Chain A
């Protein structure tokens, strides 16, 4: 693995290490002293806490805390790997345990931010994790050196052992952990040079795989508690509607039905089994107060977005030179509009939340990407003090960005309040889940460009008309009126152009929007990289050559990943007859990604994907096995959305409800996926989401090469394309 550290103009390697070791404030190990456990019996060992993150047992076991959420993205393995690296632990001895939200609260956030969002677990925590590992290692060295009466500088560590170089004396971590735990953490540490990494960069299998394989894994939905009740809920199918009246007479006295609750925004049925609750809910007639939203249709929203494109007062996301002026004067302007629809997350595990209120305390088992948000919401909704709330860490059956919001926590807590001290597990049906999602926003993007004779860009104007997630969902003010996600990859595109304008028309509707895996990068690179392809075609140039021509020399990483993917796909070699290809590249979440798709399209518009070559430069590749899985997985997730994904709206309601009309890819449709992991070092980029970004445009570009038909909207099924069996 190429771990060459790239010295950039902004941060030299020396400075990077200095920053890590001396910025004491970031160097938080915040010692949180749990109540020292006493062994239940003589054979049970008690661990020594070297700091909040690391416990070492006398029998060499090393417990590393993981303080985020595991939803299949694998960071519960990668993050501890980073700690273990600096600690120089023997990975075989490492056990990974969750840190909890209440521990974080009690210790004034010693574990930092616990939410798993934004592909930034590794990126944002690597520094303090490495510091924690290095600090503990330093304490172990000090303890060993003191034991031997030697100088620390003569000691080194390897695989859970401190070694005195001159004499080759050894002491295992387990044997000195007690002595080390008594020491103070060092004021500064020296982190390892990436070329010395032994654990980071290894394709270590995810920790929960054995449990998943044998069916032992427990997801939030598997929570079982004594005396537990179950709740099925229905919110108004027209968004923001409320309950006008309900008639539960048919089910009120039915066997097993405990309560029927009218909670204004939604109706809940509590029963002794979920089946009974769900079936009873179906037979309750609910009259909803729907309001204006009932008039919304897909068409009405689309024309609303189209109006946005014609606005004059728009928020400017990027402005260099005078794009509008140059375009006005240009003899030839290439113009295109790209459209992407609303998408639902449809995580395999639907929304589920279990709440148990007992007097002035409560416990929550939620399928949530942010345990701290769950804690805060549950406490606020129940009126219980935050210090009396326990949020149990659970494995999520997928998050994909839906589960950062806490609407379900609020619902489950309201239900729990009504059942006097009994635990209640609220599960959404698949229909409820799909129809009450926080959808990837619909977006209409208009691009216009003028080219110089050699194809270079003279002027580029990109206008986005789309809802704002930050305004609608988070009610956050925008910087200069621009929603960064709505213009992601557009306002920060790397191509050289003197006159560039990127502006944004905010178009919010009552359809709730949220963060769908890769958010703006799930749709904007489609517009951008396909339009670049259109421009290449206009100039009569090869798509790869054109991009390399447009990318300035300073766009080092864009050029690098593009070149790497082209090499891997053998772009310079001619393809067999009937096979065509497309390419795309973009930055996202701090990493650089690229993709080449090779397809054949027959006369029935069946698209056979021969090969997807997809790659990423995440700076440092902590766990290549996991990154490969992310690349492959994002092809599955991405192709499903690209071919069939769309939410259609009628009378203010989402028409889709389950996987029969919100289709997912089948096993026998899975193409060959060739993955390229090309870390160039020197930075820490995200992996969970950016891999989605280049797939759509690469595929659409390949389809153009194959058919001459320029696809400017997803899903492909609306153009008559279908995915051929592999």
Chain B
């Protein structure tokens, strides 16, 4: 993660997934507290559903077909002030010709109760595969845009969003 280098190396900042990781994996060394439906006061977060992994989201759709992390990009603010209404843009330079075009774009959530936020159907008539919409986010998570082309190939992008929530989670 840290490149070995010489004196003038420009160290890249890590994509710190701290907020999300720490929120979900608080090493709670608790004695005597059973895990009940809503957990201890320590865990009253906005955890709707579990945090899925990238393979969990993508594999059932891609099913072993060629998969590339390029040519499609999610554009969103890094910080969402409110999980109920977050602007999301999908930008892609994948071709949209009769020979080769984006057929579907899956919008997948790591944390929402429902994984598939939307499924878009496009074609050569679309001209391009750029889509904008507004989504709901059940907490900080990453979002995946997964495009399926007429050639049976898949292209994806992953974007980490922090939902700052208009108030505090888990107390004052």
Contacts and interface: CB of A to CB of B under 8 A. Distances in A.
Interface string B107-132: 00000010000000000000000000
A404 B36 contact: no
Given A107-B13, A108-B13, A26 B30 contact: no
Interface stretch (A299-307, A331-339, A473-481, A569-577): A473-481
Interface stretch (A356-364, A369-377, A451-459): A369-377
Given A117-B171, A118-B170, A475-B84, A491 B14 contact: no
Nearest to B12: A31
Given A11-B29, A184-B4, A488-B44, A30 B172 contact: no
Interface stretch (A271-279, A534-542, A586-594, A602-610): A586-594
Interface in B14-58: 14-19, 21-23, 25-34, 36-44, 46-48
A261 B81 CA distance: 24
Given A317-B37, A476-B46, A554-B31, A589 B171 contact: yes
A558 B40 CA distance: 14
Given A380-B81, A474-B167, A589-B171, A184 B3 contact: yes
A588 B172 CA distance: 12
Given A316-B37, A489-B41, A589-B42, A515 B32 contact: no
Contacts of A689: 171-172
Interface residues of B, number: 63
11 contacts: A10-B30, A25-B21, A105-B78, A112-B19, A187-B2, A370-B168, A373-B81, A404-B166, A474-B167, A492-B41, A555-B32
Contacts of B7: 182
| Interface residues of B, dominant DSSP | loop
B32 A519 contact: no
A108 B1 contact: no
Interface in B113-161: 113, 138-139, 160
A669 to B, nearest CB: 24
B162 interface: yes
A510 interface: no
B47 A479 contact: yes
A386 interface: yes
Interface in A84-142: 105, 107-113, 115, 117-120, 123-125, 127-128
Contact of A474 (B2, B13, B169): B169
Nearest to A476: B46
A245 B25 CA distance: 51
A11 B172 CA distance: 28
B13 A31 contact: yes
B46 to A, nearest CB: 5
A485 interface: yes
Given A477-B138, A515-B167, 14 more contacts: A9-B31, A16-B27, A26-B25, A30-B15, A109-B162, A112-B19, A370-B168, A376-B79, A377-B82, A377-B164, A404-B172, A470-B46, A484-B39, A683-B29
A206 interface: no
A479 B171 contact: no
Interface string A389-423: 00000000001111011110000000000000000
B171 A376 contact: no
Contacts of B25: 26
A40 interface: no
B102 interface: no
A19 interface: yes
Contacts of A182: 7
Interface size class, chain A: 35 or more
B60 interface: no
Interface centre among B7, B36, B77, B162 (most CB of A within 10 A): B36
A321 interface: no
A482 B2 CA distance: 44
Contact of A115 (B11, B16, B44, B168): B168
Contacts of B31: 6, 8-9, 554-557
B14 A476 contact: no
A32 interface: yes
Contact of B167 (A32, A477, A494, A514): A514
Given A372-B162, A484-B44, A517-B172, A404 B18 contact: no
A632 interface: no
A554 B26 CA distance: 21
Contacts of B95: none
Contacts of A488: 41, 44
B86 to A, nearest CB: 10
Given A113-B18, A128-B18, A376-B79, A590 B42 contact: yes
B22 A26 contact: yes
Nearest to A385: B77
A484 B41 contact: yes
Given A118-B172, A474-B167, A475-B84, A372 B79 contact: yes
Contacts of A370: 164-165, 168
Contacts of B171: 117-120, 401, 485, 515, 518-519, 521, 589, 689
Given A128-B18, A488-B41, A401 B77 contact: no
A188 to B, nearest CB: 11
B64 interface: no
Interface in A322-358: none
A667 interface: no
Contacts of A516: 172
B40 A185 contact: no
B36 A108 contact: no
A206 to B, nearest CB: 19
A371 to B, nearest CB: 9
A386 B168 contact: no
B169 A124 contact: no
Given A28-B14, A31-B11, A187-B2, A317 B46 contact: no
Closest 5 pairs between A and B when the two form their complex, measured CB to CB: A401-B172, A484-B44, A117-B168, A376-B81, A373-B164
Given A373-B166, A476-B48, A519-B171, A590 B13 contact: no
